[in-house]
Amino acid sequence: MRQPIIRLNPAELRSTPGYSHITVVEAGRLAFLAGQCPLDRSGAVVGVDDVDAQVDQIVANALIALAAVGAGPEHVVRSVIYVVSDDTKVLASVWQRLTGSALATAFTTASTLLGVAQLGFTGQLVELDLTATLVG
């Protein structure tokens, strides 16, 4: 039986800080999660001016969204992380908080971290875009 998700890092490419250069999904359905924002259930931005609080809210929201389709962090095949900052220390801090969270396994796959000028909600500092494979 083939593995449904294969993560690869060719020896000829530089090593990564935990993610894979290539993720192969053998077959099946995919779930594309809308950008997960640091919003509570009422729609309020959580942690205005607190990037750690926003990351924590995004993790909680992403876990709920994944569970709604019968998936978990281990089923994520692509992630894109948007951070309102051009400071590499802030970007690294967000990466470390995500990779230390309950969603950590999601970031062992193909992943991109971007510094951006602005996101959709006033006070929003972080957003997370996930694609997951639905196995079974």
Burial 40-50 (b: 16+ CB within 10 A, else e): eeeeebbbeee
Categorize the per-residue pLDDT at 11 as very low, low, confident or very high, splitting at 50, 70 and 90. Answer: confident
Greater confidence (24 vs 130) lies with 130
Is residue 126 a contact partner of residue 55, using CB atoms and an 8 Å limit? yes
What pLDDT is attached to residue 71?
A: 92
Instruction: Tell me the pLDDT tens digit for each residue of 81-100.
Output: 999 999 999 999 999 999 99
d(CA 38, CA 126): 7
pLDDT given at position 132? 93
| 57 or 69: which leads in pLDDT | 57
pLDDT average, residue stretch 43-69: 95
* pLDDT at position 106 over 90: yes
What is residue 117's DSSP assignment? S
Cross-strand pairs, 82: 114, 127
Q: Which residues are CB-neighbours of 104 under 8 A, at least 6 positions away? A: 73, 98
pLDDT of residue 136: 64
pLDDT of residue 30 exceeding 90: no
Q: How far is the C-alpha of 35 from the C-alpha of 129, rounded, in Å?
A: 4
